[in-house]
Amino acid sequence: MEVLLQPLQNLLGPLWPLVWILLKIVGIILPLLLCVAYLTFWERKVIGWMQVRIGPNRVGPWGLLQPIADGVKLLLKEIILPTKASKGIYFIGPALAFATALAAWAVVPFSEGWVVANIDAGVLYLLAITSVGIYSVIIAGWASNSKYPFFAAMRSAAQMVSYEIAMGFALVCVLMISASLNLSDIVRGQGRGMFADMGISLLSWNWLPLLPMFLVYLISGIAETNRAPFDVVEGESEIVAGHMVEYSGMAFAMFFLGEYSNMILVAVMTSVFFLGGWLSPVGFLPDSFVWLAAKSCFILFLFLWFRATFPRYRYDQIMRLGWKVFVPLCMVWLLVVGVWMMSPLNIWK
C-alpha cells in the first residue's frame, strides 16, 4: 500500500493530505450507498419470507437488480414543488437529512486505525451531528406548507428529541467505564478484562455489564431512526408518509437514503459501543473489520425482524416508553455503575 501511494504522493506534493482525505471519504460513501441500496432489497426479501411471500424477484437474477431499478426510477422522476412552499428551505430539508446521515460516518472506527477523523470527542461529535439531523424533519414538514407533513414533523421531532435523552444517558454509562470519548479507545477498552484474558472476549464486551443500557440504546436507536414499531411518522392510516409526503423523485430519495444510512449507522454504533466493534469474540481468531460487519448485519437484521413482527406503537405509548421507562432506568443504572466503579468489585481498572 505504502509503495503504491508513494509516486502519487510525490506528484501531488502539498495537496496530498487533502486528496488522501477525499479518497477516504469516497471510500466510505460509495460502499455505504451500495449497502443502503441492498439493505432495502434485503429488507423486502426478509419481510417477504417472514410473511410467506416471495419479495422482489423480477428485475435481474433473484431480483438482485431491483434496488438499481428503483434508484433509476427515482432519479428520472419529476421533482414537484408544491404551490406556496417555501422554496429555498423546501430543498434544504432533504439535503440536510442526507448530509447529516453521511457526516456522522467521519468518526466511525472500522478497524484498528481505520477511521477518517480519529478525534478525541468522537461520541460528542456523533451526538451533535445526529441532533442536527432533526432539522431536516422539521424543515421539511414546515416548508411543504401542508398540514399532514407538519403534523408528522412535530410528532417525529418530539419523538427524536425524547429518545435522544435516553440514548445519551445510555452512552454516559459507556463513557464512565471506558473513561474516554474516543470511539477507538472505547472498542479497545472492551478487549481488556478477566474474560478477554481467558480467550472469551465476547463476555468482556460492554453488553454484559451494561445489559439494560444495551437494550435501551438499541431500542432508542430504532425510535431515533423512526423505524417500525416506532414509525408513527409515516403511519399510513393517519398521516400517509409523514414529513416527506409532498416530496417526489430525488428529493424523496434523499430522505430515504438518509434514513437507511442512519439505520446502518445505529447498527454500527451499537456494535462499537456494546459489542466490541472490530474485536473478535474468541481469542484464537484475529480481530478484523469482518467482525464489525457481521455484528452490524445482525443488528440490521433485528431492525427488519422487528418491522415484520411488531404492530406500530401508539403515540402516547412511545412517549411513555421514552420518558417514563427508559430515562428512569438509565438514571438507576448510572448510579449502579457509579457505585460499582467505586467499590472493590470494579472490573474496569
Partner 1 sequence: MMNSMDFNSAIFYVLATILVASSLRVITARNPVHAALFLVLAFFTAGGLWLTLQAEFLAIILVMVYVGAVMVLFLFVVMMLDINLERLREGFWSYLPLGAAIGALMTLEMALVLGGRYFGLESVPDPGTAPAGYSNTKELGRLMFTDYVYPFELASIVLLVAIVAAVVLTKRTRKDNKSPQAGDQIAVQSKDRLRMVSMPSEKKEET
Q: Which residues bind partner 1 (CB under 8 A)?
A: 14, 86, 89, 119-121, 124-125, 127-128, 131-132, 134-135, 138-139, 142, 150, 154, 157-158, 161, 164, 181, 316-317, 320
Q: What is the dihedral of CA 258, 74, 45, 233, to 10 degrees?
A: 50
Helices 87-103 and 134-143 meet at what angle, rounded to 10?
160
Running DSSP on this structure, what letter comes out for residue 60? S
The Cα–Cα gap between 115 and 112 comes to 8
Question: Measured from the CB of residue 316, what is the shortest distance to partner 1 in angstroms?
Answer: 7
Closer residue to partner 1 (CB): 304 or 318? 318
CB of 325 to partner 1, least distance (A): 9
Q: In the bound complex, what is the minimum distance in angstroms from residue 117's beta carbon to partner 1?
A: 11
**Cβ–Cβ under 8 Å, residues 21 and 116:** yes
243 versus 307: smaller Cβ distance to partner 1: 243
Phi, psi of 114 (to 5 degrees): -90, 80
Find the shortest distance in angstroms from Cβ 256 to partner 1. 23
**Smallest distance from partner 1 to CB 158, Å:** 8
The dihedral through the CA atoms of 307, 309, 313, 318 has a sign that is negative
- Indicate the residue among 80 and 161 with the shorter CB distance to partner 1: 161
* Minimum gap (Å) between residue 24 Cβ and partner 1: 20
What is the secondary structure of 165-224 as a DSSP string? HHHHHHHHHHHHHHT-S-HHHHHHHHT-SHHHHTT-GGGGSTTTTTHHHHHHHHHHHHHH
Kindly tell me which of 93 and 193 has the beta carbon lying closer to partner 1.
Answer: 93
What phi and psi, each to the nearest 5 degrees, are found at residue 111?
-160, 180
Give the integer Cα–Cα distance in Å for 147 and 152: 9
Q: Which residue, 135 or 301, has its beta carbon nearer to partner 1?
A: 135
Which residue, 164 or 246, has its beta carbon nearer to partner 1?
Answer: 164
